[in-house]
Amino acid sequence: AQSVAQPEDQVNVAEGNPLTVKCTYSVSGNPYLFWYVQYPNRGLQFLLKYITGDNLVKGSYGFEAEFNKSQTSFHLKKPSALVSDSALYFCAVRAPTGANNLFFGTGTRLTVIP
């Protein structure tokens, strides 16, 4: 069975500093990995995904994520954080065949301090 872990409930970072939001996964076979962002009382917005190819994936709003197969990780990164990046971030995994749905982590609340 597939699963996703986000070890940090909360991440605080100063504006302008680099940010990292951690995610590790467990899945049989090659994974499909995703990051979503959620602003208060809103639906989830897709940021980026890894299916195959280059381990460094670039997405929306300047975010990127690095797929590391040996560490089963898919950490979200941004070189310079903005106050507007403050939100709830979810990592998700989907099995490459059969399953139609995503399994989500418990979320990490990112706060960017001005």
Residue ranges that bind another protein, judged by CB under 8 A: 32, 34, 36, 41-46, 49, 51, 88, 90, 94, 100-107
Question: What secondary structure letter does DSSP report for 60?
Answer: G
CB of 28 to another protein, least distance (A): 16
CB of 41 to another protein, least distance (A): 7
Helix ranges restricted to H, 1-114? none
Instruction: List the structure tokens of 106.
Output: 């418990």
CB of 58 to another protein, least distance (A): 15
Nearer to another protein, 43 or 114 (CB): 43
Nearer to another protein, 40 or 114 (CB): 40
CA-CA distance, 54 to 24, in Å (whole number)? 18
Residue 1, number of CB atoms within 10 A of its CB: 8
Determine how β-strand 10-14 pairs with β-strand 19-21: unpaired
Nearer to another protein, 15 or 49 (CB): 49
